[in-house]
Amino acid sequence: MSTLAPSLRRPRWRTLLILAALLAPLLWPIEHLATRYYRERVAEQSSQTLELYVANLRGTLRRYEALPHILGDLPALRAALRAPEDADSVNAANQLLDRVRRQSGADVIYLMNPAGLTLAASNWSHYDAFVGRNFAFRPYFREALAGRLGQFFGLGTTSGKRGYYFAAAVRDGHETLGALVVKVDLDHTETLLGSTPEQLLVSDVNGVVILTSRPDWRFRATRPLGEAERAEIAANLPYPTQEPQPLRLSEQAWLRQSHRLDETGWTVNILAPRSLVERPVQSVLAIAAATLLALLLLAAVLLQRRRHLLERLALDAHARRELEQRVAERTEDLVALTERLKQEVLEREQAQQELVRAQDELVQAGKLSALGTMSASISHELNQPLAAIRSYADNAGVLLDHGRIDDARGNLKLISELTARMASIISHLKAFARRDRKAPETVALQPALDDALALLANQRRALQVELLRDLPDATLWVQAGETRLRQVLGNLLSNAFDAMAEKAPPRRLWISAQTLADGRISLSLHDNGPGFCAEALAHAREPFFTTKTTARGLGLGLAICDSLIRALGGELLLANHPDGGALVTLNLLPAGTGLGTPSPEDRS
């Protein structure tokens, strides 16, 4: 033992250092692969963001591109250009332009004579109206008089707001009467990226930043300007300054992707900070280094165990007189090992308990998510009955003050019925959340419609909505559930009233019903409101999509209605009526006459 022990107990640091030197170069290819992977990932995400933004920006511009040509054919505008001294003609043109601006969403629409003087404008009633101002110096005006579509980006000389201008000549045959200009507000496009780390930068043909998510970059030059460009800027005044300051961006700090809009000459850039690549690469390197360290520690353990084995072999080769002593030492080693195993078992049990707690928390989070969705649905569906209950309760108080006990008792009875209906709606929402399918029964359509209208009577009277009915005298029987049908009709009528609230009286709602050739019962609701926009027609049936403010709607009504109708074998159609306004059609399966058996949800 005395001859072997010194060599066996020498530290193996030299071997570990050699092994570390052999494994350390593996970090370089790991860093290279991680950098390439995360760079491609960031580039792909930035490319998708850039494509979405370019599509949105191009769609915003194309939406108004044809508007000047279309409006130029309106007789009222031509009359104002031919008789600018006629106050009635000019006032009619102002009213028309203001109405078109509200419907189209443009910022300003104005009419100019051949000398560049503004005769009529949609903002004629504002303090900063364009009427009486001359914009002949703008290039879009000159291009419009030359017979081309005028396009120009710049700050308004009156409002000081950024906008993109479309201009077209107003002609009567071969005679040029003037020009019509549509100004589009682009301020909202800067907020499309939200709070993402990527930065937006849109530069025009002069290389000057006109749209950006960083206000300190706005109206700075991305490249040196030539003399011709400076002269053009001084003549057209597109920016708040005639000497744009240079924008110096470090190429080492950003990953840039660009897209050029050929129709405007603009260049759209998405700048992603390199930290999006460097941080995950650093994490990968840290994990790799930790793995390397673990390998070194494992090698150290293996070397240590090998040394112990050699020691045991050396001890066995010596005299048997030391056997008992070595057995005792080995026993001590086994006891220590047992303690370590016990400690490992205890740690594993603790880890298992932590896993169980984490799973419980995950299940609880799922329950809370489902509870949130159900709460939003119940809140949306109970708003109408609650409003009616409040109205009946207020009326009952007034009736009691006047001694009209029987009328007050009638209101209380209505409140009780509405309370029962709310319980039925809650029961149905639970069944809807479970995707439960109830067998439909026979329901009379006209009484269900009258019931839904009675529930919304206060809202209809407040909006002064005129009802125009075209319903057959004979009762129409459909396959549905009474509560489900009332819920659907109430949602559709409430949406129609909300849509008409945005327009001035008169407000009208046409209700008609007929039997289709295939035997189905078709109920149509047509209002004279603003109708559906293209986005609403495409996404109205999706949960939480709404064109209302968050205070007025959650975007669940049509989603619930569509699901209920499809469960009953019917269909819900959304369209715009040829005469204006929204057209909602409800096609239901017919049923035999007579009272149907109440569904489980109605009995509840």
Q: In the chain, how many domains are there?
A: 3
Q: Is residue 409 part of a domain?
A: no
Of 132, 150, 185, the residue at which a domain comes to its end is 185
pLDDT of residue 117: 93
185 or 382: which leads in pLDDT: 185
SS3 category, 118 = strand
Q: Identify whether residues 111 and 241 lie together within a single domain.
A: no
Q: Identify whether residues 587 and 446 lie together within a single domain.
A: yes
Q: Is residue 445 part of a domain?
A: yes
CA–CA dist 379, 514 (Å, integer): 34
Query: Among candidates 125, 118, 122, which has minimal Cα distance to 93?
Result: 122
Query: Which letter does DSSP use for residue 226 in this model?
Result: P
Is the distance from CB of 516 to CB of 587 less than 8 angstroms?
Answer: yes
Q: Identify whether residues 561 and 497 lie together within a single domain.
A: yes
* Confidence band of 263 (pLDDT split at 50, 70, 90): confident
Q: What is the CATH number of the domain that holds 96?
A: 3.30.450.20
Check whether 163 has a pLDDT greater than 80.
Answer: yes
Q: Identify whether residues 536 and 572 lie together within a single domain.
A: yes
Quickly list H helices, 402-444: 405-433
Tens of pLDDT, residue by residue over 479-518, are: 887 777 887 888 888 888 888 888 888 888 999 998 888 8
Mean pLDDT, rounded, for 13-35:
75
Q: Identify whether residues 98 and 206 lie together within a single domain.
A: no
Tell me what percent of the residues of the chain surpass a pLDDT of 90.
9
C-alpha gyration radius of the chain:
38
Q: Is residue 157 part of a domain?
A: yes
Handedness of CA 229, 234, 239, 241 (dihedral sign): positive
Tokens (6 digits) for 314: 């050396």
Q: Is residue 4 part of a domain?
A: no
Q: Is residue 571 part of a domain?
A: yes
Q: Identify whether residues 165 and 233 lie together within a single domain.
A: no
Q: Identify whether residues 85 and 195 lie together within a single domain.
A: no
Q: What angle do CA 546, 487, 542 make, to 5 degrees?
A: 30
Q: Is residue 357 part of a domain?
A: no
What is the number of helices (H) and of strands (E) in the chain? 17, 16
Q: Structural domain of residue 78, as residue ranges? A: 66-185
DSSP string computed for 311-360: HHHHHHHS-GGGHHHHHHHHHHHHHHHHHHHHHHHHHHHHHHHHHHHHHH
Tokens (6 digits) for 212: 């950006």
Handedness of CA 446, 452, 457, 461 (dihedral sign): negative
Of 219, 250, 275, the residue at which a domain comes to its end is 275
| pTM for this model (two decimals) | 0.45
Q: Is residue 152 part of a domain?
A: yes
Q: How far is CA 173 from the centre of its chain?
A: 46
Alpha-carbon dihedral angle through residues 288, 290, 294, 297, given to the nearest 10 degrees: 120
Name the least confident of 17-26, 83-92, 141-150, 523-532.
17-26
CA–CA dist 270, 198 (Å, integer): 6
Of 185, 204, 239, the residue at which a domain comes to its end is 185
Tokens (6 digits) for 321: 């007189």
Q: Identify whether residues 160 and 233 lie together within a single domain.
A: no
Q: Identify whether residues 454 and 509 lie together within a single domain.
A: yes
Q: What is the CATH number of the domain that holds 471?
A: 3.30.565.10
Q: Identify whether residues 157 and 217 lie together within a single domain.
A: no
Q: Is residue 413 part of a domain?
A: no
Q: How far is CA 297 from the centre of its chain?
A: 51
Q: Identify whether residues 82 and 219 lie together within a single domain.
A: no
Tokens (6 digits) for 261: 């809009």
Check whether 112 has a pLDDT greater than 90.
Answer: yes
Tokens (6 digits) for 162: 């950024």
Q: Identify whether residues 90 and 145 lie together within a single domain.
A: yes
Tens of pLDDT, residue by residue over 48-78, are: 888 888 888 888 888 888 899 888 888 989 8
